[in-house]
Chain A
Amino acid sequence: AQKVTQAQTEISVVEKEDVTLDCVYETRDTTYYLFWYKQPPSGELVFLIRRNSFDEQNEISGRYSWNFQKSTSSFNFTITASQVVDSAVYFCALNSGGGADGLTFGKGTHLIIQP
């Protein structure tokens, strides 16, 4: 069975602060894929990143960065110099078992950026 845990239900920070969203996953498969999605108030899930289990390189995209550590089964997401537009619910998700099992999502972290 696979599982994704996002322990932080809600985080509130002031604009320009850095914030890290935690994601811990469980799977017995050696090949798997991890994802982050953003869900703004409009409801559409927006794809942010995909990482496969064989690539532990950290990734940076503008103000966003991701830290993947297999040793701790974590795939954390950091927003640097947060902005009000970053306010949304962020979901971490896992896909394993050959790709046909769909995504297993965490419960999401509601990020509030205050001006």
Chain B
Amino acid sequence: KAGVTQTPRYLIKTRGQQVTLSCSPISGHRSVSWYQQTPGQGLQFLFEYFSETQRNKGNFPGRFSGRQFSNSRSEMNVSTLELGDSALYLCASSLQVSNQPQHFGDGTRLSIL
């Protein structure tokens, strides 16, 4: 069974640009969550999607957004990039809700120059 797939693995952008990251969940999983991991703040919850609806969002500015498609694939978008957005962005999927075991992808490492 294929795991969670995130693309791209690495990305370099400059301040002010925008970026879109992609996540394909495990087949049959309908819940997709996104997390940001930085050395200073650790792992922080961004948002969760289920059936194409955002169910909850963490404490991040509106520049961070996402969506989920009918096949459960998800994208997250960050607009007007700032240096502090440099991080590893992890996507996780679970069957129905995020209190079930979440299975993570390898992440997208975003570097802002």
A residues adjacent to B (C-beta < 8 A): 32-33, 35, 37, 42-47, 50, 91, 93, 95-96, 98-108
Residue A108 contacts which of B42, B47, B101 (CB distance < 8 angstroms)?
Answer: B42
A99 contacts which of B46, B92, B99, B106 (Cβ < 8 Å)?
A: B99
CB distance from B29 to the nearest CB of A (A): 13
Contact B103 A102 (CB under 8 A): no
Docked CA distance A44–B42 (Å): 14
Q: Is B64's CB within 8 Å of the partner chain A?
A: no
Cβ–Cβ contact A44 & B106, under 8 A: yes
Q: In the A-B complex, list the 10 residue pairs whose CB atoms are closest, starting with the nearest.
A: A102-B45, A99-B97, A99-B99, A45-B104, A105-B43, A100-B55, A95-B99, A33-B99, A100-B56, A44-B106
Quick check: is B88 within 8 A (CB to CB) of the other chain?
yes
- Residues from chain A with a CB closer than 8 A to the CB of B65 are none
B48 CB–A CB distance under 8 Å: yes
Q: Which residues of A contact B44 (CB under 8 A)?
A: 105
Nearest B-chain residue to A47, judged by Cβ: B101
> Which B residues are within 8 Å of any A CB, using their own CB?
33, 35, 42-48, 50, 55-56, 58, 88, 90, 92, 97-107, 109
Which A residues are in CB contact (< 8 Å) with B98? Answer: 95, 99-103
- Report the minimal beta-carbon distance from B72 to chain A, rounded to whole angstroms: 16
Are A47 and B103 within 8 A (Cβ)? Answer: yes
Complex Cα–Cα for A100 and B42 (A): 20
Which chain A residues lie closer than 8 Å to B107 at the CB level?
A: 43-44
Q: Which of B90, B97, B106 contacts A100 (CB 8 A)?
A: B97
| B92/A105 in contact, CB under 8 A | no
* Contact status A44-B105, CB under 8 Å: yes
- A50–B102 CA distance with the chains assembled, in angstroms: 10
Closest to A97 in B: B56
Complex interface: chain B residues within 8 A of A43 (CB): 88, 106-107, 109
A73 to B103, CA, bound (A): 25
CB-CB under 8 A from B101, the residues of chain A are 35, 47, 50
Q: Once the chains are docked, how many angstroms separate the CA of A37 from the CA of B106?
A: 14
Residues in B whose Cβ lies below 8 Å from that of A47: 101-104
CB-defined contacts of B50 to chain A, threshold 8 Å: 100
